Structures are given as structure tokens and as C-alpha cells.
Structure 1
Amino acid sequence: MFECPNCNGKDLGKIGTQQYYCWNCFIELSVYENELMVHQVESDGSLSSLDDLFTEDERKIQW
């Protein structure tokens, strides 16, 4: 398993195929070609990208 790039926590729950949720900082993570796409879940259930807050290296998955 990998760590959350935001809080470095390992308390991740699987919510779908290649989709995870961090229970420490409440963000959604999607895996695409060994890179994470990071999203904030809005109050209406939509997702806002947080990818621009992290470098490409921070979003690389270290299995």
C-alpha cells in the first residue's frame, strides 16, 4: 500500500477500482499509471483537483 501525499498517513480505504479515500485528511486518491490524482470532496459530492499542490514526484506511487 502507499501513503497519502498530503498527510503521509496510511489509513486509506478503498472506495472503487483504483480509488482510495484518506481517513486522516479526507481527500480522494485515484491511481493512474503509478501516479496519484488527488481530489477534495466538496459538500455537494463533486471533486476538485488538488494535483497542482503536489509535485509529480510526490504523486508517484511507491508500492
Structure 2
Amino acid sequence: MRCPNCNYKNLGKIGNEQYYCWNCCLELTIEDGKMNINQIEEDGSLSSLNDIFYQQGS
């Protein structure tokens, strides 16, 4: 598996179906076959970046 942002292939596993990209610091979670992409904020909370990576059809 590769990071959808930077294409880095050495992701760290942080939980069940949860990965962390050490290169661009994104958390990737796989739920129901879909990858959710989150940025980790300074306070430890997560901000979804799905709207940047997945465009919805009009």
C-alpha cells in the first residue's frame, strides 16, 4: 500500500486497518473498503482530507 498523497510506500501500522505515513504525516484508515485520509492536528485531533482526495460526481 502507498500513501495517496506522497506515494511513500513504507507506512507504519498504528492499529487495525489504520496506517501512518511517516513522510507526510497523514493517518490512513480503511473502513468498508474505502480509505479515509486524515491530518493530525497539533492538539491530536484529526481533520478529514477526504474532500481533497475524493471528488464527488455532480
Query: Unaligned stretches of 5+ in structure 2?
Result: none
Using CA pairs under 8 Å that are at least 6 residues apart, name the structure with larger relative contact order, 1 or 2.
1
Query: Unaligned stretches of 5+ in structure 1?
Result: 57-63
Aligned residues between the structures:
55
Runs of 4+ in 1 over 4 A off after TM superposition: none
Q: Which has the larger radius of gyration?
A: 2
Q: Which TM-score applies when normalising by structure 2?
A: 0.87
In structure 2, C-alpha distance between the alignment counterparts of 1:18 and 1:55, rounded to whole Å: 19
In terms of fraction of residues, the more helix-rich structure is 1
Q: Residue type matched to 1:16 in 2?
A: G
User: What residue in structure 1 maps to residue 46 of structure 2?
Assistant: 47
Q: Which TM-score applies when normalising by structure 1?
A: 0.81
